[in-house]
């Protein structure tokens, strides 16, 4: 037992050493930390302002682009239209947004923020975007451009990545 604890202690101290992880594993570790932070903050937001992070982002974007179509919002968020449906339904149930039928095509709709939605569509401390806003103020323009480029390329790479399983099925 003592030998096993000694190996575990040695392994955990080795992990903390610079260069212990390959660059891709270190990058993934940081991405998971960001994802965990987003989830934790989203839960905090749900308890304190009644909106999750995704719901608030959708509300903020509808507020910024009044009359946006649900499909356009999904495209802006880089989500499949069916994925955004649940978020929009919850915002509609809370009467924070409304769907307005298109004047010439009843199959299409436009999204608008309601008066209740406008009360939540403002900067609020403790939200994800406030944390991002503070970070961006410290980063500087050049570092932001690099970060945006890296994240955009990663998102595109992940969307177009073929796994061995996908290739086998073709």
Q: Residue 164 class from Cβ within 10 Å (0-12 exposed, 13-18 middle, 19+ buried)? A: exposed
Stated pTM of the model:
0.78
pLDDT-derived band of residue 6, with 50, 70 and 90 as boundaries?
Answer: low
**Domain-located, residue 55:** yes
Domain with 41 in it: 24-124
Residues 113-127 pLDDT 10s: 999 999 999 999 999
**Domain-located, residue 159:** no
CATH number for the domain spanning 45: value is: 1.10.10.10
**Domain-located, residue 105:** yes
Number of domains making up the chain? 1
* DSSP string computed for 7-29: HHHHHHHHHTSTTSS-HHHHHHH
């Amino acid at each position: 037992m003592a030998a096993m604890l000694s190996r575990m202690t040695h392994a955990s101290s080795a992990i903390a050493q610079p260069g212990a992880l390959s660059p891709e594993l270190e990058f993934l570790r940081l991405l998971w930390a960001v994802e965990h932070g987003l989830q934790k903050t989203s839960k905090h937001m749900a308890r304190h302002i009644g909106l999750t992070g995704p719901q608030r982002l959708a509300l903020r974007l509808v507020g910024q682009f009044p009359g946006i179509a649900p499909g356009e919002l999904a495209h802006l968020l880089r989500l499949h239209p069916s994925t955004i449906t649940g978020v929009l339904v919850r915002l509609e149930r809370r009467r924070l947004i409304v769907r307005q039928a298109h004047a010439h095509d009843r199959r299409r709709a436009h999204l608008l923020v309601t008066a209740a939605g406008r009360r939540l569509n403002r900067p609020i401390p403790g939200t994800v975007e406030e944390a991002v806003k503070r970070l961006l103020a410290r980063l500087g323009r050049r570092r932001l451009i690099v970060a945006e480029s890296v994240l955009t390329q990663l998102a595109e790479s992940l969307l177009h990545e073929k796994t061995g399983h996908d290739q086998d099925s073709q």
